[in-house]
Amino acid sequence: MKITLDADKCCAAGQCVLIAPEVFDQRDEDGVVVLLDAAPPAAQHDAVREAAAICPAAVIEVHA
């Protein structure tokens, strides 16, 4: 799995951090998403897919 972000679209909802805190974080100054792990281990894949699906700004793209 490889993750890419269109962080420009981020609305700082922080849902991705709640769902997959080992993969996503937020910048302190404006809450914009930060990618901690662009190629997370298999144990994280379901959470990452959930985060991508829930993101209200469609920022997270997951590539097989």
Partner 1 sequence: MTARPIAVVGASAAGLAAAETLRRSGWRGPLTLIGAEPHLPYDRPPLSKQLLHGAWEPEKLRLRTEEQLAPLDLDLRLGTRATGLDVATRTLTLDGAESLACAGVVIATGVAARTLPGTDRLTGVHTLRTLDDALALRGRLTKGGTPAGEGVAGGGGTRRLVIVGNGVLGCEAAAVARELGHEVTVVGIEGTPMAAAVGTDVGTLLAEEHRDRGVRLLTGTVEGFDTTDPGDGRGPQVTAVRLAPGSTSASGGAAGGTRLPADTVLVAIGSRPAVDWLTDPALDTTDGLRCDAYCAAAPGVYAAGDVARWDHPAHGRPLRFEHRMNATEQGMAAARNLLAELAADGPTGTGDGTPAPERRPFAPVPYFWSDQYDLKIQAYGLTAGADRVETPVRDRAGRRILALYGREGRAVGVLAAGLPPRQIRALRAVVADPLPWEEARERIAAATAAG
- Measure the CA–CA gap between 43 and 28, rounded to whole angstroms: 27
39 Cβ contact partners less than 8 Å away, ≥ 6 residues apart: 1, 2, 3
| Least distance to partner 1, CB of residue 6, Å | 8
Is residue 2 within 8 Å of 60, Cβ to Cβ? no
Q: Which residues bind partner 1 (CB under 8 A)?
A: 9, 11-15, 17-18, 26-28, 30-31, 53-58
Shortest gap between Cβ of 7 and partner 1 (angstroms)?
13
Q: How far is the CB of 37 from partner 1 (least distance, A)?
A: 18
